[in-house]
Structure formats: C-alpha cells, structure tokens
Amino acid sequence: MAINLSINGVSHSVDIEPETPLLWVLRDAIGLTGTKYGCGISRCGACTVHVDGQATKSCQTAVSAVAGKKVTTIEGLSQDSSHPVQQAWREVGVPQCGYCQSGQIMSAAALLQKSPKPTDRQIDEAMAGNICRCGTYQRIKAGIRRASQISGA
Amino acid sequence: MTDVNLSRRALIQTSVGAAGGLLLGFHVPQAHAAKTESRPWTTPTKGVEVNAWLAIDPDGTVTIRVPHTEMGQGGMTSVALMIAEELDVEWSKVQAVFADANRHLRNNKEYVTMFTAGSQLVWRQHPHIMQAGASARERLKEAAAQAWGVPRAQVAAKQGVLTSGARRATYAEFASAAAAVKLAEEPAIKQAKDWWLLGKDVLRLDIPHKVNGSAQYAVDTRLPGMVYAAVKASPVPWGKLKSFNFEAIKNRPGIVGAFELRAVPGKRGQPDMQDAVAVVADSWFRAKTALDLLPVEWDFGESAKVDNAALSAHAKKMLGETGLMTKEEPKALEAIAASKKVVTAEYERPFEAHLRMEPINATVHVQDGRVDVWSPTQDQSVAIQLVANQVGVPEKDVFGHTMFLGGGFGGNGAGGTAVTRQAAELSKRLKRPVKVLWSREEDVAQDKQRPMSAARLSASLGANGLPEAISTRAVWFSLDKANQWGPATADYGIATMPYIIPLRHHERHNLDTHVPSSTHRAPGANQTGFMIESFVDELALAGGWNPLDWRIEMTKGKDDWQRVLKTLKEKSGYRTDLKKGEGMGVAAVECHGTIAAACATVTVSRRGQLTVEKIVVVADCGHVINPRGAVEQIEGAAIYELSHAWHGGLDMRGGRFVNTNFDSYNLLRIDQAPEVEAHFALTGGKKWGGMGEPAGPPVPPAVANAIFAATGKRIRSTPFRLHDLSWA
C-alpha cells in the first residue's frame, strides 16, 4: 500500500506495510539516517522527530499514522544548522558520542517552541524521555538556556 | 600544583555572558577551529604526505590522520591537537581524518596501535603521537636548511611558516622535500611548559556534525544492493541451536532467507560467535519482525539453572574459602584474629551491560579480492583480523572503515563482539553487502558483561581508631575464570588502595560462569571502588574519624593523594553535621594512572526518595591537554557510574538476562542527574594519567557514603533502587 508522506517539506510515496514504524521508513527507505534507533520501545528518545511540531518517538509511530502530516527530522530542522538549538549545542559543545543528540535536539526544539523560556522543571519534564549515555545532561540544560537566549526569549 | 577550576557551570556562565556567545578566556575560538567531515574516513588527501600521520596541501591545510576512534571521548581532537602542537601549525589550518586501518596492518602496525581503550590515548600514547608531529616539523626544517644552505638550528618553524634570517617559506613548499629527509636523530617531544596549543580549551572537531544528523556511524552505512539481518543468538549464552522453522516466515514481505550461525566448537573467547539464527530481508524492520515470529528450538543445557541468587550464593560460599594470593600477609590475619575491635562487611555488585546508545552492528561486503567492513569497534585493526579470519582471506584484502562510535565504554574493545563475524559470514554466503544490527534486547543479552563481583573485607582497629591490619577476599564471575580483563583483576581497586595500613592481606577468586564478560569503562575499579571506598568509610566512622580526614591521614606522605584529597576538602565544603535526611559522602579511587576523588551531596526523604544534588570531582591526571574535554569526561564518567549504581543491575533468571531494554534496565535521566563540578589538582612533570574512565569509580561509594550520612543506612550492594532508604 502506497503511503504519502511529507518529510522535511518533501513529498514521498512509500509502498510499505502500514504498521512499519516511521523510524525505519526514515532510515532504511528514505535514507535519512540522522534519526537513530536506540530501543524500539519509545524509552530512550534517540528516534525523536517532530510530527506537526510535536516531539514524537518515531520508533513507536506507525508510518500510516503520519500520512498527511508534516514530519520534520533533524536534517530538516534547519537548512544550515542555524536553528537556535543547533547554534547553542555547538557553542556549549553539548554532544559527546552524539548518537542521542538528534533526539535531544528535536525534543529541545519542540520544548522551546512551546515554552520559549522554560523553567528547570519544564526542561526536566520535556527531556526525561531522552537518554544520554555519555551523561551530557548538564550541557543539555545549558544548551537549552542558551538557545532560549539566542531566540530572543 | 596547578588547581584549575574548570567547573562546567563556570564555563557556561562565561559563555552566556559573552557577546556572541563565545567563551572568553584561554580557549581557541570556534571561528578559528580545526575541522573534520561527517564522513571523515572518505576525505581524500590532496597534499604531500610528510609521514604516515600527516599530509600538507598546497594551500597550507594540514590533514592529520587519526588512528584512534572517536566515541565521544574526544580522541579525534586529542590526536589532532597533539600533532598540531608539535608541528606548530595554525589550528584553523588543520583537518582531521581517520587513518587507514588496512595500511596500518599492511605496514607492520605503522600507527603503533589503533586500539582506543584504557584511557590510554593521551596518557600512554602521547609520546609516539607527539613525536610524529615533532619529526615532521624537524624534517621540514631540515629540508629548508638544506635548500638555504644553513644549519637546521638556524631555521624556525612556526604557525606553518619556515624562516631563517630573511628567508621565508610555507610548510607546503617544503613538504615533498621533507618527506624524503632522513633525520640522524629523531627529536624529543616538547615539555608542557613550552606548549602553545595544548592546555587550552578546544571544542571538539566532531561537534558540528553531531548537531545536524550528518555524523556517520557504522549503523548508518548504506550500500547498493545491501540487505539487512536481524539475529538472535542463544538467549542462554552458549546454548545450542537445535532447529528453526523457516516455513513459518518465508512468505513474509522482503524476506531473503534465514541462516544458522554456529559457534566455533570449543572456543569461548571474546569475539567468537555463538549459535544464532539470522533472518535477512530487504529492510531491518522486516527482518526483525520475521525473526520475532520465527519458531526456534534451543538446547540450553545446565546453564538454564543459573540465576542471580545461585551466583550470589556461590559467591558467598567462595568468600569463605582461601583464594589466590594477591598479597599474602599471615600477620594481618593473626592481628585481626587477636583484635577486640574488628570491622567486617560483605559487598556485592551485579552484572552490568555497556548500553552504548548505538546498538551493536556491523556491515560487511565480501567481494572477489576485496572485503570491506564498517564496524563500531574500538580497534579497527582487530575488526579487519576478525573478518579476514571468518571469510578466509588475507588481512591485506580487508578494508576497515572507521566510523564515529555511538559510545564504546570498553564494550567494543579488542574488536568488539560476535557481530563482525556474523556480518562477515552472512555476506560471504549471500555474496552481497549485509548489515547486521542487534536489537536493543539482543545488544544487552549478548553483550560481554561487566562481571558480577563480591568481596568480604575485615580490618582491626588500633588505639587511635585507625586500622592496624586489613584482610580482603574478592570474587568475580569471569568467563572461563579469566584472571584479568584489561588492567583489572577481581580485587583491582581493593588490593591497590592507597591507604597505609601496616598489615595488608589480599586474596581473590576467579569464578566461572557461562556469561561472556569483558572490560567495562574503568574495569575492576568500577565494581570494587564501591566496595573498598564504602568499607573504609565504615572503618573511619568505627574509629571515630571524619571520613575525609581519615583518608588524608591514611595517605600521609603520598603527595598526589594529599593534593587531591585536600583540594576536595576545600572545593566540596564536605561536612558531617548536616541534619537528618541530608548527607555528604566522599570517596577516592586510582585507576588508569589517575587519582579521582568525589564528594556527593544527597537528600533522602523520610519515605526514602533519593536525590543526588551535586557531585564534586577532583582529579590528578598529571597533565590536561584539553581542559574542556577533560571536564566532559569527568561529568560523563560520574553520570555513567551513578547510572549503574542507582538504576542498573542485570537480572538473570533461567540462565538468561531478562531486563534487556530501558523499560526494565534504566539509566539515569536528566531529571535525576546531579550537577557535576570538576576540578583538577595536577602533579604535572612526568606524571600522566588517563581521563576517560577514572572519574567514575569514586562516585557510587561517595553517594552511598552520603546516603549513610543522611539516613544511617549502609548500602552494601547495588543498585540503590532495590534498597529501602526510608527513615524516621
């Protein structure tokens, strides 16, 4: 069954089982490998993308459920790594191994969209679904605060 | 002594206050930073190779070839920094690529070692890495000296330019000539006092590629005609595959086939395959879905009777029996037997998996006359050797592609795991590129675990409350009773404790299980640091001592320990008079040549809810070449070990691990992560130590000691989550 998708503003038609998780369509069918597989059960956040602006775990989202919706991946967050979260992440030097960071950045960007000046508690709540094994949490918090400044909040 | 306060908070505050957001002070601004690519192994070098480590382009760009892997520890940046320091070239002219692993093997280990483990890259390997840069610099100078008819001593090499009197040339102009120069004597490397680049804060080169999804990991490999494999090895390690029913899944979409993979008979070594079944399809999700539906029969044998409780009981029994002597001192045993004041305690820690965020995987493409491998290994040369062995081709025909690693933590050491053999075997059979990706459940169940371990410790106290004699016996469950993993033995960290106790007796047992085990970030010390540093807290308190003052007293005369502990006292504000429910705890462990001491501040609610407020770490790694990177490693190692101590613990039932994903085997998340403040108390001079691992081991005991201070409850096993911490 062909499913029509809008990924980073580009239309795709994929012929695949409708229950296939969006993650694997992104990675294996379309070739957008910035979104990562970490657990497959929506517990680590490495696969976080935006669906109509909402942070969404793509490993537990059936591709059929996003037909007609606007999907944004890390590759589409900005054209040139200029999103305030990306700027802040570079400045603060957030990533270590970097594997979880696409998901961290997408969760952070969605948080700032909703709460331009998030409190510590809001940061904890929005980011607790994203595991970082390298333990960059302190810099993630600093990165979010810096991104908030860059955005002029 | 250099006490550099590099707390992340201080750095961030500086960052936020500065115009444009750049950090102030002594760091190298990003605008003038060196660079790398998102696929740095494919970057061609246009320039002239001066030696295996570097090439110079006509425009002055210096390409530095990094033989080590980048797994978030800053290895790529560290190698580039060390060579740029010696070469004396502008940091903005440097680009880093990964070195060719095939060339390394072909040319008799041309890069000395590609192994990236043991916190050794800067600590142990800086002499030969820096020497490569120094040698290139001297060759450039010699080439110019010969052309200009002056002695080499009259040629200066600075920031990419050679000068002698009025003569001036770029490095690029003399690169070809330099490559042909044979020096009578290789130059010595620089002393720290002469550094112009090392010791400054530098942002890692890989960061820009890790904020936009472009950094390429092994798992991201995509090749024309590639198929995907999901595998399931015997869930009880070393069980036998009896049969599987391919008919049940063969009509599912995209299925290529199902294959049996067989353990090499009689071999239980580290990288060897176990019996497994692989389902291959045109996408990984299709392969994985079919694998889950595939009926498989196993023969688990006697190992299916083993569980955590059985191993724990066996450990306890063996703690009562004489073991191998690490340090034999019968007088210690006599003194303890005769003493009226003896403290005895038993500690235990469970198996732990590495939980790299990138689940283990490998892609192999076997063709006639050439085999390519993409593997998240900590030693590409070993990945090449494994593939050559599995496919049956010479090593020179195997090409390893170094990728960014989504974590390593020792789990991908020594060529990593069976996955490389699995991919090689499947590609050999299918004659097309195959990517094998382990599901998270497979990644945890089939990991080479950090061994379950236990210890019994006894000490007798003298009139001043300080110990006169100590006796310890440690056990660990290592595959095939291995006596050593990396630098570690069962009582590493215990037998190597720094405390000056007149009589010391240390024994160990190596116990066998069916569970494959291996190095794990700060091997040995990561388990035993908790045991010994909790126990000495018990000793200090039993003797009426302040636990931090006890440690300072017991390391008298050891200058580096004194510096670290006194700095910790000053920076942490450690105190023992907090109100009930609040506590501070300290601990100090040496591993990988580095002493790290930690002070934890916790609160525990009456109902037993633990909050770790803050961890202050002081480290002496001798020298710091990139303070920013060293701080990252301290923060990361602290969170890493706290994760295991608080939330970890593999649960084995019926011979298999049953908590194999983040729902049941959790890690510390941002809402529980404490602030980590890093300080250095550096010895300098000839002392060098590692920094990727040592900050971890003191953290669990510091937190456990703080919990005792807050609640009066002594925790002698991990994870903390299984303990009732409530108090009245």
What φ, ψ does residue B292 adopt, rounded to 5°?
Answer: -65, -25
Inter-chain touch B214–A41, beta carbons under 8 Å: no
If you measure CA to CA, which chain B residue comes closest to A129?
A: B669
How confident is residue B14, by pLDDT bands cut at 50, 70 and 90? very low
In this structure, the answer to whether residues B236 and B341 fall within a common structural domain is: no
The pLDDT, as a whole number, for residue B5 is 42
CATH number of the domain enclosing A120: 1.10.150.120
Position of tokens 């908790």? B530
Q: Closest partner residue to B16 among A89, A140, A149, by Cβ?
A: A149
Q: How many CB atoms lie within 10 A of CB B214?
A: 18
State which H helix or E strand residue B14 sits in: helix B8-17
Average per-residue pLDDT for chain B: 92
In this structure, the answer to whether residues B340 and B280 fall within a common structural domain is: no
In this structure, the answer to whether residues B280 and B254 fall within a common structural domain is: yes
What mean pLDDT comes out for the span B420-424?
94
Give B359's contacts (C-beta < 8 A, 6+ positions apart): A37, A38, B219, B437, B438, B439, B440, B442, B443
State which H helix or E strand residue B287 sits in: helix B284-293
ipTM of the complex: 0.98
Range of the domain at B53: 34-210
Helix B627-647 and helix B699-711: axis angle, to 10°?
50
8 Å CB contact between B595 and B620:
yes
Closest CA to B357 of B384, B376, B341, B331: B376
8 Å CB contact between B614 and B674:
yes
Lookup: tokens for A87:
């700027």
In this structure, the answer to whether residues A48 and A69 fall within a common structural domain is: yes
The pLDDT, as a whole number, for residue B705 is 98
Tens of pLDDT, residue by residue over B200-227, are 999 999 999 999 999 999 999 999 999 9
Does any CB of chain B come closer than 8 Å to the CB of residue A42?
A: no
Cα B24 from Cα B12, distance rounded (Å): 10
User: Does residue B19 form part of some domain?
Assistant: no
Cα B371 from Cα B105, distance rounded (Å): 15
User: Does residue B634 form part of some domain?
Assistant: yes
User: Does residue B444 form part of some domain?
Assistant: no
Q: pLDDT at residue B412 above 90? A: no
Portion 218-257 of B in contact with A at CB < 8 A = 219-220, 222, 228, 253
Q: Closest partner residue to B72 among A43, A85, A96, by Cβ?
A: A96
CATH number of the domain enclosing B559: 3.30.365.10
3-state secondary structure B201-231: CCCCCCHHHHCCCCCCEHHHCCCCCCEEEEE
Q: pLDDT at residue B174 above 60? A: yes
B610-632 residues labelled b (16+ CB within 10 A) or e (exposed) = bebeebbbbbbbbbbbbbbbbbb
For residue B638, list chain A residues with Cβ-Cβ distance below 8 A: 135
In this structure, the answer to whether residues A66 and A24 fall within a common structural domain is: yes
For B655, the 3-state DSSP assignment is: coil
Lookup: tokens for B560:
């580096």
Q: pLDDT at residue B18 above 50? A: no
**Is pLDDT larger for residue B15 or for residue B552?**
B552
What mean pLDDT comes out for the span B509-530?
93
In this structure, the answer to whether residues B400 and B483 fall within a common structural domain is: no
How confident is residue B723, by pLDDT bands cut at 50, 70 and 90? very high
The pLDDT, as a whole number, for residue B380 is 86
The pLDDT, as a whole number, for residue B342 is 98
Per DSSP, chain A holds a count of helices (H) and strands (E) of 5, 5
10-residue stretch averages of pLDDT, chain A, 153 residues long: 94 95 97 98 98 98 97 97 97 97 98 98 98 98 98 82
Give B380's contacts (C-beta < 8 A, 6+ positions apart): B69, B101, B104, B114, B400, B401, B402
The pLDDT, as a whole number, for residue B44 is 57
Cα A59 from Cα B359, distance rounded (Å): 14
Please tell me the total count of domains within chain A. Answer: 2
The pLDDT, as a whole number, for residue B382 is 84
Q: How many CB atoms lie within 10 A of CB B547?
A: 22
Q: Which of B201, B357, B437, B444 to mutate to test the interface with A (most CBs of A within 10 A)?
A: B357
Does any CB of chain B come closer than 8 Å to the CB of residue A24?
A: yes
Cα distances (Å, whole numbers) of residue A6 to A69, A74, A109: 7, 14, 19
In this structure, the answer to whether residues B562 and B632 fall within a common structural domain is: yes
Cα B338 from Cα B319, distance rounded (Å): 21
Cα B174 from Cα B162, distance rounded (Å): 9
List beta partners, residue B226. none
In this structure, the answer to whether residues B512 and B396 fall within a common structural domain is: no
User: Does residue B400 form part of some domain?
Assistant: yes
The pLDDT, as a whole number, for residue A68 is 92
For residue B447, list chain A residues with Cβ-Cβ distance below 8 A: none
Tens of pLDDT, residue by residue over B581-600, are 999 999 999 999 999 999 99
Range of the domain at A22: 2-76
Q: pLDDT at residue B395 above 50? A: yes
The pLDDT, as a whole number, for residue B130 is 97
- Please give the radius of gyration of chain B, using alpha carbons only, rounded to the nearest integer: 27
In this structure, the answer to whether residues B202 and B244 fall within a common structural domain is: no
Looking at A76, A108, A124, which one is the last position of a domain? A76
Cα B277 from Cα B270, distance rounded (Å): 19
State which H helix or E strand residue A120 sits in: helix A120-127
Q: Of B382-396, B448-462, B617-631, which range is least confident?
A: B382-396
Q: What percent of chain B has pLDDT over 70?
A: 93
In this structure, the answer to whether residues A136 and A98 fall within a common structural domain is: yes
Tens of pLDDT, residue by residue over B261-280, are 998 765 555 557 889 999 99
Lookup: tokens for B722:
């299984």
In this structure, the answer to whether residues A51 and A92 fall within a common structural domain is: no
B557: Cα separation from own chain's centroid? 31
How confident is residue B115, by pLDDT bands cut at 50, 70 and 90? confident
In this structure, the answer to whether residues A72 and A97 fall within a common structural domain is: no
Tens of pLDDT, residue by residue over B54-106, are 999 999 999 999 999 999 999 999 999 999 999 999 999 999 999 998 899 89
Q: pLDDT at residue B357 above 50? A: yes
Tens of pLDDT, residue by residue over B248-257, are 999 999 999 9
What mean pLDDT comes out for the span B332-345?
98
Q: pLDDT at residue B20 above 60? A: no
8 Å CB contact between B629 and B119:
no
User: Does residue B4 form part of some domain?
Assistant: no
Does any CB of chain A come closer than 8 Å to the CB of residue B13?
A: no
> Using a CB cutoff of 8 Å and minimum separation of 24, what contacts does B17-20 make?
none
Q: pLDDT at residue B15 above 90? A: no
In this structure, the answer to whether residues A45 and A97 fall within a common structural domain is: no
Please confirm whether the linkage preceding B502 is cis (ω < 30° from 0): no
How confident is residue B410, by pLDDT bands cut at 50, 70 and 90? confident
Please tell me the total count of domains within chain B. Answer: 3
The pLDDT, as a whole number, for residue B17 is 30
In this structure, the answer to whether residues A16 and A69 fall within a common structural domain is: yes
Q: Which region, left, alpha or beta, applies to residue B274 given φ > 0 means left and ψ of -120 to 50 means alpha?
A: beta
Portion 59-88 of A in contact with B at CB < 8 A = 73-75, 77-78, 81, 85-88
Looking at B171, B193, B210, which one is the last position of a domain? B210
